[in-house]
Structure 1
């Protein structure tokens, strides 16, 4: 029990540390929030072009706008969360504390998950601010949206995102100069196959099985059901997204930690735990 309490407090300590780092670099938070909002507006404005095609009523335009808005919101959430996880390594290099952290009497699970949950909370805050601003810009009616289901799906999907993010954080651990940028490859693949801006049925046949592995596919399906069709948590539509996310989450976190452990041992032997910059 004492050990469990120690690990819980240590996990919160990593959460609090990342919050303090966010306050230190608050200017960057404003920059990225502004960028994400503008990017979402740019994408959702595409829906306005559908009126020029003819035989399209306002309800269809609003539906497409909300479809694209949900896609950009999930993409922003995934980006903020992934960046928050991979930046764990980069920030510790800048601060010169990475070797001390790896030598601390804390399990790697506590270290990574404590830091990752801050990235999740951070990403959720960004996403909902973006969703409210863009929805207000287009005067979308979200009165029928099921926000409880939306939060449930996002939190459930976050478990899987954490696993993928831990695995991706191996790149900045092994490649001190460009590792963080290399993690963009993982996000780019998820963006391509997960139906962020289009249904996965639009993908070539050989890519569609890949989409079924991505947790973002099921997060998007669940969110669109919640926000566009007011689907409750216990509905069959949400369950169709819930069980794949549960399986992906249970598998991805242990696998991510296992991959990170291999990379950590190699980095220690190869002397890669040095301050960068």
Structure 2
């Protein structure tokens, strides 16, 4: 009479793995997309170097207009605008570029078939875009400091950085909506996002107060998160209003209304961006637009 074999021992759970569907699993998947975009960017490191240098030189050229005018207040205003737009513009563009890279590499179909939610995918893309844009913004800021004494305290710089972080939420949502363009067109989708960036650059008063815009265009500036972020940072640095002299800077407590509006932008645009991207993905799958040729 044979004795039945004992069942094999149950293997101990691997701590490096997480249960599908849990928050930990989704976070690991989002981080995987962060590292994927890092390696995609590193693959084109020479272009990253070229465009980073272009950003730094362009920002310094704009700031030197204030130096030439012998107006420290104008110089700081232009510096703030250049740094903020370097950050927000790169954040906006990098989300769309992530989709473009995949179209060029021919891997976007595999990403869309991966067993992860689109929310997890786009959160990972946005996290990398935010970190990359922040690094570019810091490099631009340091480069501009080689040309002029910035004149801002460390506390003011940190408070402006907080404003940048809050403003990034709204631009992430707008970037997700713009990312549908590379999904719809391989050849021209990424270039079309530059038009959207140019419109926001115009209406946000990045290098000038919104009040100098034509009267019919000034109300449109209210739809841009950059408008409120710039207002907050100008108050912190004491360069709000008009004239050539500095005003007393304020703390974060004095710009809570602007921060509240920026949070509201993020709360509205991020879900809307996810919805729009999902609709574009469904359309692209149905019409066969995901192949590399577009």
Normalising by structure 1, we get a TM-score of 0.91
**Number of paired residues?**
266
1:230 CA displacement: 4.3
Other structure's SS at 2:145 match? helix
**Structure with the higher fraction of residues in helix conformation:** 1
Of 241, 256, 261 in structure 1, the residue corresponding to residue 273 of structure 2 is 256
Query: Contact 2:60/2:143 (CA < 8 Å) preserved in 1?
Result: no
Query: Alpha carbon RMSD of aligned pairs, Å?
Result: 1.6
Matched residue, 2:60: 41
Give the structure 1 partner of residue 12 of structure 2: none
1:149 is aligned to 2:159:
yes
- Whether 1:181 aligns to 2:198 is no
Which residue in the other structure is 2:214 paired with? 204
Contact 1:156 1:242 in 2 (8 A): yes
Q: 1:245 aligns with which of 262, 275, 291?
A: 262
Is the 8 Å Cα contact of residues 74 and 127 (structure 1) preserved in structure 2?
Answer: yes
Distance 1:141 1:47 in 2: 14
- Once the two structures are TM-superposed, the CA of residue 144 in structure 1 deviates from its matched residue by 5.9
**Does structure 1 retain, via aligned residues, the 8 Å contact 2:177–2:274?**
yes
Q: What's the offset of the Cα at 1:22?
A: 2.2
**1:15 aligned residue (22, 30, 34):** 34
Match of 2:95 among 80, 85, 104: 85
1:191 and 2:210 correspond? no
Partner of 1:205: helix, strand, or coil?
coil
Tell me, what secondary structure is at the counterpart of 1:137? coil
Deviation at 1:85, TM superposition (A): 0.3
Q: CA deviation at 1:200?
A: 0.5
What SS is found at the alignment partner of 1:254? helix
1:65 corresponds to which residue?
75
CA distance in 2, matches of 1:126, 1:99: 30
Task: State the 4+ residue runs in structure 1 displaced beyond 6 angstroms.
Answer: none
Please give the residue correspondences for 1:219-234 in structure 2 after superposition, counting only pairs within 5 Å: 219-228=229-238, 230-233=249-252
For 1:28, which of 47, 55, 60 is the aligned residue? 47
